[in-house]
Structure 1
Amino acid sequence: MWLEVVLAGGSALAAVLLVYLYRSKFMLPRHPEAPDTPRSGNPADEVVLYSFPPVPGTLFSTSPFGAKLEIFLRLANIPFTTKPADLARAPKGKVPYIQHGNNLIGDSTFIIRYLLATYGKPHQSYFGKLRLSLTPYEVSIGHMVQVLCETNIYNALLWSRWLCGESDFVKNNFFGMIPRPIRGLIFAMVQRSMFDWLWGQGFIRHSPHDVVTLSKLDIDAIDTLLGNKSFLFGDEPTVYDCTAFSFLEPFVNSDLELQGLRTYVCSKGRIVNFVNRMRHLIPQDK
């Protein structure tokens, strides 16, 4: 009798494991369909930016996407307030996001499009300190710079921050307000999610040397594009400069060597001058 009970229990457990394996490995997960981003809102409503805070002693969010949006808001002279992000409320599970009236909007690119449509005017040449009148060629190049920054350079930043030898600095500074025992647990969870992301992207399937080699090619591309210009497309910044700055600034103004990438970026005088020029241009008072 006991043998029958054991066999029945084992069969049931095997069935449960097979169902779990099938659902986790072969079935597409169900997820709610995200609604379309609203095109525009009411200019009278307050903009509330939800993002990760900066590390003590720095000016911008630890997330380059959050920094990109905050820099855009400052250069566009759009009044806003900042609050800590709550991932449980974040549209698409992403940070940053904004609350604007009844609209809760995620993804920095869609947020900027929404804000331009809400506060801008048709055929407007300037928005605060930003030049909006761009040629189709400039828009195309700007889009490629944005994609380069938000994929390759972003992955290099994640890898060098979270998965390399200087990750203890990240743990103690990014999570410094969390009590030490819990801090290590939360850091380990985030670090594992970063590994899964970068492995899925194919980024860390290369050797560390090859990762750095590819990252240097990306940095060289932006350095060449800048040339002798003050900004990406001349003497005035554009929305695309907000993106380039927010992803390059963490390498220039970092306490971490970032697997040699900090030294390499800082050896590019045109990039360093661009970052410093943008920093001096950005108002620090909301």
Structure 2
Amino acid sequence: MSSDEPRLPPELERDIFELAADTSDESMAALLYVARRTHLWIEPLVYRDIHVNATRRFASFLAATKSKPASFFAQHVSRLFLHVTISQPVEDVCEALKLCTGVTRIAGVGPVVIPIMKTFITGMQLERIGLFLTHIFPRLGDYPNPAGDAIDLSLPCFQSLTHFDVFDYLYKSEEADPYVAKLCALPALTHLAMNDVVPWTAIETLLAQCKLLKVLIVLWSGSRKEGVERAREMPFEDDRFVMAVYADVDGSIQYAPNLWTNMEEFIRAKRERRIEGNRYWVGKWADQEVLASED
């Protein structure tokens, strides 16, 4: 490492290095070795977002959990991105993720969600997630008789949940009803997303009974024509409801601007009468011009 003598006020120097580290993974790796003090500043950023996958970086994370104190990961890991493939034993991954009790955001799918996900999320205080509830509570998948009582959103990890992208497909009322009852009981829920065709009765109940709900999105993965037609079938009025094109499995946990902020802007535009009050189809939420151009 080079000389450890600072040339700028420490607070300013740290801000500069942290901003530089955020530009790319390569910059972050290089800045670890500039000086001892920069290593102390940058190392926590390396572990801020953990991608659970088959990469060398995730393997390094697993190795680090065996040498660093548990408090390091509890303090510095804030988001988990779950991927379909991993190259390490699921049990080892689970034990490492149990250390990340400071995680507030999780999204994705993959082998770590079945059947062990519940074991590592219970110690967290989640704020934003994008997940299948059937992965957390596998008995939900016992069709044709799903066990609705398997959903336990009273777990402490869900009491701080504000944003939830529910990946499960709930085409029929008998599929949706067990979810609706439990979602309405979440004490902090303000933003909710669901997939494709959701019964209008379920949508209406969620809007009526989720006390703090500000945004309810249906993310559409079918054709644009079908999405527009479905939005026009909205049988009641509520400006908190929107329909948008599905774009990203982890869009619900990204920093702003994101899925949620774009939908908030759409709702704001309706309330300010910049777009029609009876319009619910947004289209591609990532395209800001959609607010003016989509039908």
* TM-score range relative to shorter protein: under 0.3
> Which one has a larger percent helix, Structure 1 or Structure 2?
1
> Greater relative contact order: 1 or 2 (C-alpha under 8 angstroms, separation 6 or more)?
1
Q: Normalising to structure 1: TM-score of the pair?
A: 0.23
Greater Cα radius of gyration, structure 1 or 2: 1
Q: Normalising to structure 2: TM-score of the pair?
A: 0.22
